[in-house]
């Protein structure tokens, strides 16, 4: 049994991970989460003593306080002074006292209604649903926990039901809350900005509150709805680490509080600022799902655990283990300035070079000649592409390439036929002017009429054309928004927008399940597990500079599998950084993701074309190693990066040096996860090395001289 109830204790066992919950007078305590524990006898119980200034629910017992216990949910107003995880207004206050009523254990995983949820075979997953009730507030809270046989993972979400006769308003409902005992902790977050997404930030925790959040209506470039709680001594190879991630793409908040007793409360959920959800009698609300992963073997093992979970339970099944096509995208090649001949010239070159997919980016629809107009008018501009879309697709396919198309379905330009017909469909506040960003507005996906219009339009377009890939962009964040539901459909809160968006993408990706969807938001502005549940791939940054990508890909590797990440070779000087990098380095870096090209292939010299052809051929050999293999971070300093991928018999090692320095003229990297007694043959020299020597003595490389240089080494187990 994976979930066991023994007396007052619930044991939740995933593969090698355990969570223990205790029920006591209806209170639910979080006793433990971490490495497997099969028998627990309160060894770490909070000491029963009078902690001054902490409220006591029982008059005769000053030793017991909700402020000092490790709770499963945080409720304020009755003595727990830490950050709450649940806050629901009823009558004239928002104090609740949810107590255990019953529980149920079932095979399989549950869907959080209308929200991206993990999938699983019934025999792999077991779910515990605990029902709590507050009889004064007349509310029920149901917390679901799912454990997985094959993964060190637990997923969880909550439901609130209004079982009374009066209206209640949810102000906060975190998807996960973990109370952990006093210890030395570090918290790792993934922050940054546009063009430098997923920068790894490691914070030392101190007494107080650390909070990372978004109120953009998207997870955003500058923060990720995820964190890793670990210790100062934990490295990639040693030590304990626990990751939490929200399977959601809207406003979120991550709160980490070290209390006066130095214990830690970590929670993650919808951002409570700008959020309030009315529950009329009989109504219910579901939180997004959160994922918890754990490892006792260092951060790299935690990363692999997360990667595996995401490929087995989040990324749509038909794409999770399907090789991704090598693409060419015309954006940086042409921007808005193209016609059919120009596109077909690129497609022709692509086909000669062995590229597999041609992607037509922004600019093919309405009167779109720059980024000021036409969003919403998803009719092909036949004048510009000199014919119909079907004809263009047929011509591209005639060259042996698949066809992909860019969309930005959530947006509307003021200068568009759609806006002229339906100005009320843009998100707006009554009597206030619009706020623009990239000169565009956002469609109100909280309005089912808008969502249905888009469902029909996109379904029709995708049904009538042979499209293999869709790049789904979102190039601004949401403003001019309310925080209530009842504003005549035009003013809403972003959670309603998210529900509309999810219903649209669920419909389209289910109906057109052969299409590979890539999520984009000016690069990685919405690079989270919510989108990944529908869209197997993410354009992780608009920054295509190979050297900048090292940081972005490094940050991405902590939680997201490489198969979810597109990575392109672009022109030099690089359009974002103005840096000149060798074609080899650009390709070696992009080959650590799903390889693509984003430049005008016609402008390459013959020598460069030959090099691209060789890269494409080589990537077809390396592709399973990168996309299906296990990833190891071997080295990541300001000047040097080394990454290893291992799949079946083969090991790929990529090394990149930023600046040429004397101290980095030769470098030794220690490989990981090899078989000690097996022999591995280095392709370049045919030299055999034992797994043990590669891991423990390391491989010394004469690194290439010059700035921005790279090596790509392939080893095969003999």
Tokens standing for residue 580? 């000149």
- In 260-389, the DSSP E strands lie at 264-270, 277-279, 284-286, 289-295, 327-329, 357-360
Token pair 């790929």 in the structure block, residue: 652
Rounded least distance, CB 417 to ligand GLA, Å: 19
- Which residues sit at the interface with ligand GLA, rule CB under 6 A? 331, 361-362, 371, 406, 473, 475, 520, 522-523, 539, 542
Nearer to ligand GLA, 371 or 614 (CB): 371
Kindly state the smallest distance separating residue 567's Cβ from ligand GLA, in Å: 13
DSSP-derived pairing of the beta strands 516-519 and 252-258 = unpaired
Q: Which is nearer to ligand GLA, 290 or 601 (CB)?
A: 601
From 647, 621, 616, select the one nearest 632 (Cα to Cα). Answer: 647
Least distance between ligand GLA and beta carbon 407 (Å): 10
Of 80, 179, 473, 588, catalytic = 473
89: its two tokens: 């207004």
Q: How far apart are CA 541 and CA 519, in angstroms?
A: 11
User: 23 vs 361, which CB is nearer to ligand GLA?
Assistant: 361
User: Which one from 134, 528, 542, 545 is the annotated catalytic residue?
Assistant: 542
Cα dihedral sign, 520-502-286-120: negative
Q: How far apart are CA 187 and CA 171, in angstroms?
A: 26
Min separation Cβ 439 and ligand GLA, Å = 12
* Catalytic site includes residue 301: no
Which two three-digit tokens encode residue 139? Answer: 């509310």
Of the two residues 164 and 525, which places its CB atom closer to ligand GLA in the complex?
Answer: 525
Q: What are the phi and psi torsion angles at 625 (to 5°)?
A: -65, -45
Smallest Cα–Cα separation from 116: which of 502, 501, 474? 502
CB 540, min distance to ligand GLA, A: 10
**147 versus 601: smaller Cβ distance to ligand GLA:** 601
Q: Are strands 327-329 and 594-598 parallel, antiparallel or unpaired?
A: parallel
Q: How far is the CB of 474 from ligand GLA (least distance, A)?
A: 9
Nearer to ligand GLA, 293 or 413 (CB): 413
Contact (Cβ atoms closer than 8 angstroms) between residue 248 and residue 116: yes
**Would you tell me how many other CB atoms lie within 10 Å of the CB of residue 280?**
10
For ligand GLA, the nearest residue by Cβ is 362
How far is Cα 489 from Cα 226, in angstroms, rounded to an integer? 32
Which of residues 454 and 470 has its CB atom nearest to ligand GLA in the complex?
470
Q: Where is 569: in which H helix or E strand?
A: strand 565-570
Beta bridge partners of 634: none
CA dist 537 and 535 (Å) reads: 6
Minimum gap (Å) between residue 568 Cβ and ligand GLA: 9
Catalytic residue status for 486: no
Angle among Cα 309, 314, 317 to the nearest 5 degrees reads 105
CA atoms 617, 618, 622, 626: torsion sign: negative
Taking the complex as a whole, how short is the minimal distance between the CB of residue 363 and ligand GLA, in angstroms? 8
Nearer to ligand GLA, 199 or 437 (CB): 437
Task: Answer yes or no: are the C-beta atoms of 63 and 85 closer than 8 Å.
Answer: no
d(CA 267, CA 83): 9
Q: Which positions are catalytic?
A: 473, 542
């Amino acid at each position: 049994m994976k979930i066991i109830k023994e007396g007052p204790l619930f044991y939740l066992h995933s593969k090698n991970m355990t969570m223990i919950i205790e029920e006591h007078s209806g209170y639910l305590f979080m006793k433990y989460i971490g490495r497997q524990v099969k028998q627990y006898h309160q060894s770490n119980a909070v000491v029963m003593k009078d902690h001054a200034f902490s409220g006591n629910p029982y008059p005769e017992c000053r030793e017991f306080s909700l402020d000092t216990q490790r709770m499963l949910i945080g409720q304020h107003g009755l003595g727990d002074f830490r950050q709450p995880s649940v806050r629901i207004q009823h009558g004239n206050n928002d104090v609740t006292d949810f107590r255990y009523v019953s529980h149920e254990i079932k095979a399989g995983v549950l869907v959080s209604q209308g929200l991206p949820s993990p999938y699983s075979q019934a025999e792999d997953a077991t779910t515990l649903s605990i029902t709590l009730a507050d009889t004064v507030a007349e509310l029920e809270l149901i917390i679901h926990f799912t454990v997985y046989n094959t993964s060190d993972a637990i997923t969880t979400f909550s439901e609130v039901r209004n079982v009374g006769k009066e209206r209640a308003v949810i102000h906060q409902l975190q998807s996960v809350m973990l109370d952990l005992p006093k210890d030395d902790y570090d918290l790792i977050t993934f922050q940054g900005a546009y063009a430098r997404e997923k920068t790894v930030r490691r914070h030392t925790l101190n007494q107080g509150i650390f909070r990372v959040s978004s109120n953009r209506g998207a997870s955003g470039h500058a923060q990720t709805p995820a964190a890793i709680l670990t210790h100062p001594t934990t490295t990639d190879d040693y030590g304990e680490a626990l990751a939490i991630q929200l399977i959601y793409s809207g406003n979120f908040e991550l709160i980490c509080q070290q209390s006066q007793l130095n214990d830690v409360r970590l929670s993650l959920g919808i951002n409570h600022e700008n959020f309030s959800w009315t529950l009329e009698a009989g109504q219910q609300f579901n939180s997004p799902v959160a994922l918890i992963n754990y490892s006792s073997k260092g951060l790299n093992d935690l990363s692999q655990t997360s990667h595996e979970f995401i490929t087995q339970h989040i990324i749509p099944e038909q794409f999770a283990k399907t090789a991704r096509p090598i693409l060419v995208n015309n954006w940086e090649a042409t921007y808005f300035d193209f016609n059919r001949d120009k596109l077909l010239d690129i497609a022709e070159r692509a086909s000669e070079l062995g590229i597999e997919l041609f992607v037509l980016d922004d600019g093919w629809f309405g009167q779109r000649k720059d980024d000021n107009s036409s969003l919403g008018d998803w009719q092909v501009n036949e004048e510009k592409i000199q014919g119909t879309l079907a004809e263009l697709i047929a011509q591209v396919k005639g060259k042996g390439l698949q066809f992909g198309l860019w969309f930005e379905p959530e947006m509307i330009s003021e200068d568009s036929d759609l806006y002229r017909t339906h100005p009320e469909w843009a998100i707006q506040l009554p009597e206030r002017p619009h706020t623009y960003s990239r000169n565009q507005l956002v469609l109100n996906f909280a309005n089912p009429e808008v969502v249905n219009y888009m469902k029909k339009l996109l379904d029709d377009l995708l049904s009538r054309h042979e499209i293999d890939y869709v790049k789904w962009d979102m190039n601004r964040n949401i403003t001019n928004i309310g925080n209530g539901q009842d504003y005549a459909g035009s003013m809403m809160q972003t959670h309603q927008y998210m529900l509309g968006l999810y219903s649209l993408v669920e419909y389209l990706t289910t109906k057109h399940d052969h299409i590979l969807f890539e999520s984009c938001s000016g690069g990685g502005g919405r690079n989270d597990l919510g989108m990944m549940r529908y869209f197997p791939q993410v354009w992780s940054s608009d920054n295509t500079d190979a050297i900048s990508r090292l940081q972005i890909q490094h940050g991405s590797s902590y939680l997201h599998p490489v198969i979810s990440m597109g990575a392109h070779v672009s022109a030099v000087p690089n359009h974002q950084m103005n840096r000149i990098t060798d074609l080899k380095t650009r390709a070696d870096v992009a080959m650590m993701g799903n390889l693509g090209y984003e430049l005008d292939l016609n402008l390459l010299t013959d020598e460069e074309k030959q090099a691209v052809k060789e890269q494409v051929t080589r990537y077809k050999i390396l592709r399973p190693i990168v996309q299906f293999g296990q990833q190891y971070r071997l080295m990541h300093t300001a000047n040097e990066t080394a990454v290893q991928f291992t799949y079946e018999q083969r090991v790929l090692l990529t090394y990149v040096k930023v600046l040429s320095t004397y101290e980095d003229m030769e470098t030794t990297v220690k490989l990981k996860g090899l078989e000690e007694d097996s022999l591995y043959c280095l392709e370049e020299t045919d030299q055999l090395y034992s797994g043990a020597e590669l891991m423990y003595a390391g491989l010394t490389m004469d690194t290439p001289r010059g700035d921005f240089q790279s090596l790509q080494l392939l080893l095969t187990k003999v």
